[in-house]
Structure 1
């Protein structure tokens, strides 16, 4: 009983911090992508920056998903649980789509590091 009271007090702060971290990651990734786009003279065909941006979105989503999971501890009603479950489900689906997109983009346009790794593996 005492632990539940402590959790009800602490979890909103922890989830708030996790949500803020997710927003900061998105903001930094957006700024980096815009600068990279400007430096690359708006070459939209260069996939490396797109992949890096999508990776940052995936990382941000992981922090936000962690916050949603923690919120399940302090749910008081069935209505709150249904809404929380729906939001969590949507974030999981979005996360899977982002990871799938990253994998497909890497197969289509491997980065220089991928080329180096492939060259090392073929040499062994």
Structure 2
């Protein structure tokens, strides 16, 4: 009974987290492109790269949340291995984005 309820709830939560991640990427990309175009017109420099990286990092957090929720539904070791690899890759991407943001922060000072 409880297992069915958990599966039912997760069937809504996992795609919701995935969609939030996709939405954040779209909004961040559009906003960064808008800032880029504004910078072309006005000639003022802007922190486009930092803001885009921040949006991508947030998006990865939503996507990793969905992957973590998927661990509840894992039935066998093969699924767990694939899920673990996906989580590890997303964590690595998140780390690299944060590292890039720190490098840009230091060069801007």
TM-score by length of 2: 0.92
Residues of 1 paired with 2:12 and 2:31: CA distance?
28
Alignment partners' CA distance in 2, 1:55 and 1:62: 11
Q: Aligned-pair distance for 1:3?
A: 1.9
Runs of 4+ in 1 over 6 A off after TM superposition: none
| Secondary structure in structure 2 of the residue aligned to 1:76 | coil
Query: C-alpha separation between the residues in 2 aligned to 1:47 and 1:77?
Result: 49
User: Residues 7 and 68 from structure 1, CA distance in 2 versus in 1: closer, same or farther, beyond 3 angstroms?
Assistant: same
Q: How does 1:1-124 map to 2 (within 5 A)?
A: 2-41=1-40, 46=45, 48-110=47-109
Larger Rg: 1
Counting matched residue pairs gives 107
RMSD of the alignment, in Å?
A: 1.6
Query: 2:46, 2:53 → 1: CA distance?
Result: 11
Deviations 1:67-121 (A, max 9, x none): 10010001111111111110000001111111111111111114xxxxxxxxxxx
Extract unaligned runs of 5+ from structure 1.
111-124
Paired residues of 2:28 and 2:52 also in contact (CA < 8 A)? yes
Report the Cα distance in structure 1 between the residues aligned to 2:81 and 2:46, rounded to whole angstroms: 38
